[in-house]
Chain A
Amino acid sequence: MAILADPPEATATATPPPARGRPTGRRAGGGWRRRLPGGLVLVVLTILIVLPAALVLLAAFSTDVPRPGNITWDLTAGNFAVFAEPQTRVAFLNSLVIGVTATALACVIGGALAFLAARSDIPLPRFVYLIGLMPIFLPSYVGALAWSMLGSPNAGLLNIAQSDLGTSLPLNLYSMPGMIFVFAVYYSPYTFLLVHGAMSMMSPDLEEAARVHGAGSHRMLRLISFPLATPALIGSALLTFILVFENFPVAQVLGTPGGVDTLPTLIFRLLNTSPSRGNESAAIAVVLVAVVLLVTWLQQRMLAKRSYTTITGKGVRQKKVALGRGRIPALVAVLAFFGLSIVLPVLALVVVAGQSSPYMSSLAQLAEPGGLDFSSFGDVLASPGFHTAAWHSVVVSLFAASFGVVLAFVCGYLVYRTRVSGRPLIEGISMVPLALPAVVLGMGLLWTWLVMPVPLYGTLAVLVIAFLAVQSPQGFRGVTASIMATDRDLEDSAVMLGASRTRAVTTVTVPLMKAGLLSTFVLLLMLSMRELTVPLFLYTSDTQILSIAIYDAFENGGALREAAAMSVVYTAFMFVLSYIPRRLARQ
Chain B
Amino acid sequence: MDVKIKDLSLAYGDVAAVDHLSLDIADGESLVLLGQSGCGKTSTMRCVAGLEDPDAGSITIGGRPVFDADSGVDVAPNKRNVGLVFQSYAVWPHMTVIENVSFPLKMKRRARKEIRTRALETLELVGLAHLADKGASLLSGGQMQRVALARSLAMEPNVMLLDEPLSNLDARLREDLRVELRRLQLELGLTSIYVTHDQGEALALADRIAIMQDGRIAQLATPVDTYRSPASASIAQFLGVANIFRIAAPEPGARRLRLADHDLEVVVDAPVAAGTGEASVCVRPEHVRLTTEPAAGPNTWPGTVLVSVFQGSFARATVALDAGPTLEVQTAEDVATALRQHDRVHVGIDPRDVQVLPQEVGGAGAAPARPVAADTPDDGGPAHDRPMAAHAATASREA
In this assembly, does B382 line the interface, its C-beta being within 8 Å of a C-beta of chain A?
A: yes
Q: Determine the distance from Cα of A498 to Cα of B84 in the docked complex, in whole angstroms.
A: 11
Contact A20 B84 (CB under 8 A): no
Q: Determine the distance from Cα of A21 to Cα of B155 in the docked complex, in whole angstroms.
A: 37
Chain A residues near B221: list those with CB within 8 A: none
Contact B78 A492 (CB under 8 A): no
Our pick among B12, B53, B84 for the contact of A493 (Cβ within 8 Å) is B84
Chain B residues near A501: list those with CB within 8 A: 76, 78
Q: Determine the distance from Cα of A566 to Cα of B53 in the docked complex, in whole angstroms.
A: 58
What is the distance, in angstroms, from A185's C-beta to the closest C-beta of chain B?
A: 42
Chain B residues near A28: list those with CB within 8 A: 72
Chain B residues near A27: list those with CB within 8 A: 69, 72, 74
Contact A508 B13 (CB under 8 A): no
Chain A residues near B14: list those with CB within 8 A: 20-21
What is the distance, in angstroms, from B171's C-beta to the closest C-beta of chain A?
A: 23
Q: Determine the distance from Cα of A26 to Cα of B55 in the docked complex, in whole angstroms.
A: 6
Our pick among B13, B86, B151 for the contact of A492 (Cβ within 8 Å) is B86
Chain A residues near B238: list those with CB within 8 A: none
Our pick among A25, A419, A497, A512 for the contact of B107 (Cβ within 8 Å) is A497
In this assembly, does A495 line the interface, its C-beta being within 8 Å of a C-beta of chain B?
A: yes
Contact B72 A29 (CB under 8 A): yes
Q: Look across to chain A and name the residue whose beta carbon is closest to the beta carbon of B155.
A: A497
Contact A21 B152 (CB under 8 A): no
In this assembly, does A326 line the interface, its C-beta being within 8 Å of a C-beta of chain B?
A: no
Q: Determine the distance from Cα of A460 to Cα of B151 in the docked complex, in whole angstroms.
A: 49
Chain A residues near B74: list those with CB within 8 A: 27, 30
Give A472-511 interface residues, CB cut-off 8 Å to B: 487, 489-490, 492-501, 503-504, 508, 511
In this assembly, does B358 line the interface, its C-beta being within 8 Å of a C-beta of chain A?
A: no
Give B142-160 interface residues, CB cut-off 8 Å to A: 148, 151-152, 155
Chain A residues near B70: list those with CB within 8 A: 25
What is the distance, in angstroms, from B312's C-beta to the closest C-beta of chain A?
A: 31
Contact A21 B77 (CB under 8 A): no
Contact A21 B384 (CB under 8 A): yes
Q: Determine the distance from Cα of A25 to Cα of B73 in the docked complex, in whole angstroms.
A: 12
Q: Look across to chain B and name the residue whose beta carbon is closest to the beta carbon of A28.
A: B72
For the residues of A in contact with B, the DSSP-based class is loop
What is the distance, in angstroms, from A51's C-beta to the closest C-beta of chain B?
A: 32
Our pick among B92, B107, B382 for the contact of A490 (Cβ within 8 Å) is B92
Contact A24 B13 (CB under 8 A): no
What is the distance, in angstroms, from A488's C-beta to the closest C-beta of chain B?
A: 9
What is the distance, in angstroms, from A509's C-beta to the closest C-beta of chain B?
A: 10
Give B56-84 interface residues, CB cut-off 8 Å to A: 56-57, 69-70, 72, 74, 76-78, 81-84
What is the distance, in angstroms, from B131's C-beta to the closest C-beta of chain A?
A: 19
Q: Look across to chain A and name the residue whose beta carbon is closest to the beta carbon of B163.
A: A489
In this assembly, does A324 line the interface, its C-beta being within 8 Å of a C-beta of chain B?
A: no
Our pick among A25, A419, A489, A497 for the contact of B88 (Cβ within 8 Å) is A489
Contact B77 A496 (CB under 8 A): yes
Which of B11, B74, B78, B104 is most buried by chain A, counting CB atoms within 10 A of its CB?
A: B78
In this assembly, does A454 line the interface, its C-beta being within 8 Å of a C-beta of chain B?
A: no
Our pick among A26, A487, A497 for the contact of B152 (Cβ within 8 Å) is A497
Our pick among A25, A487, A494, A498 for the contact of B56 (Cβ within 8 Å) is A25
A492-B155 contact given A25-B56, A498-B107, CB 8 Å threshold: no
For the residues of B in contact with A, the DSSP-based class is loop
Contact A496 B78 (CB under 8 A): yes
Contact A19 B155 (CB under 8 A): no
Contact A489 B11 (CB under 8 A): no
What is the distance, in angstroms, from B180's C-beta to the closest C-beta of chain A?
A: 20
What is the distance, in angstroms, from A476's C-beta to the closest C-beta of chain B?
A: 24
What total of chain B residues lie within 8 Å of the partner, measured CB to CB? 43
Contact A21 B94 (CB under 8 A): no
Q: Determine the distance from Cα of A295 to Cα of B81 in the docked complex, in whole angstroms.
A: 53
Interface residues on A, range: 20 to 34
Contact A23 B78 (CB under 8 A): no
A419-B53 contact given A499-B78, A512-B92, CB 8 Å threshold: yes
Contact B90 A26 (CB under 8 A): no
Q: Determine the distance from Cα of A493 to Cα of B50 in the docked complex, in whole angstroms.
A: 12
What are the interface flags for A1-39 relative to B under an 8 Å C-beta threshold, 1 for contact and 0 otherwise?
000000000000000000111111111111000000000
Q: Determine the distance from Cα of A21 to Cα of B10 in the docked complex, in whole angstroms.
A: 10
A498-B108 contact given A19-B13, A21-B13, CB 8 Å threshold: yes
Chain A residues near B93: list those with CB within 8 A: 512
What are the interface flags for B35-54 relative to A under an 8 Å C-beta threshold, 1 for contact and 0 otherwise?
00000000000000101010
Q: Determine the distance from Cα of A504 to Cα of B89 in the docked complex, in whole angstroms.
A: 16
What is the distance, in angstroms, from A499's C-beta to the closest C-beta of chain B?
A: 5
What is the distance, in angstroms, from A358's C-beta to the closest C-beta of chain B?
A: 58
What is the distance, in angstroms, from A186's C-beta to the closest C-beta of chain B?
A: 39
What is the distance, in angstroms, from A517's C-beta to the closest C-beta of chain B?
A: 14
Contact A490 B90 (CB under 8 A): yes
Q: Determine the distance from Cα of A493 to Cα of B87 in the docked complex, in whole angstroms.
A: 11
Contact A20 B55 (CB under 8 A): yes
Contact B13 A499 (CB under 8 A): no
Contact A23 B76 (CB under 8 A): no
Our pick among B76, B78, B90, B103 for the contact of A489 (Cβ within 8 Å) is B90
Contact B77 A493 (CB under 8 A): no
Q: Look across to chain B and name the residue whose beta carbon is closest to the beta carbon of A491.
A: B90
A22-B55 contact given A29-B72, A494-B103, CB 8 Å threshold: yes
Chain B residues near A495: list those with CB within 8 A: 51, 76-78
Chain B residues near A497: list those with CB within 8 A: 78, 83, 103-104, 107, 151-152, 155
Contact A499 B12 (CB under 8 A): no
Contact A498 B382 (CB under 8 A): no
In this assembly, does B380 line the interface, its C-beta being within 8 Å of a C-beta of chain A?
A: yes
In this assembly, does B385 line the interface, its C-beta being within 8 Å of a C-beta of chain A?
A: yes
Q: Look across to chain B and name the residue whose beta carbon is closest to the beta carbon of A21.
A: B14
Chain A residues near B49: list those with CB within 8 A: 496
What is the distance, in angstroms, from A90's C-beta to the closest C-beta of chain B?
A: 51
Our pick among B13, B86, B382 for the contact of A23 (Cβ within 8 Å) is B382
A24-B72 contact given A497-B151, A511-B94, CB 8 Å threshold: no
Known: A494-B103, A498-B81. 18 other contacts (CB 8 A): A21-B14, A21-B384, A23-B381, A24-B56, A24-B380, A25-B9, A26-B55, A26-B56, A489-B86, A489-B89, A493-B90, A494-B92, A495-B76, A496-B84, A497-B83, A497-B104, A498-B155, A500-B78
The 20 sampled A-B contact pairs (Cβ below 8 Å) are A21-B385, A23-B11, A25-B9, A26-B56, A27-B74, A29-B72, A487-B90, A489-B90, A493-B86, A495-B77, A496-B49, A496-B77, A496-B83, A497-B78, A497-B104, A498-B78, A499-B78, A499-B107, A500-B76, A508-B92
The 5 A-B pairs of least Cβ separation, nearest first, read A498-B107, A25-B56, A489-B90, A497-B104, A493-B90
- Please give the residue numbers on chain A whose beta carbons come within 8 Å of chain B beta carbons, in ascending order: 19-30, 419, 487, 489-490, 492-501, 503-504, 508, 511-512
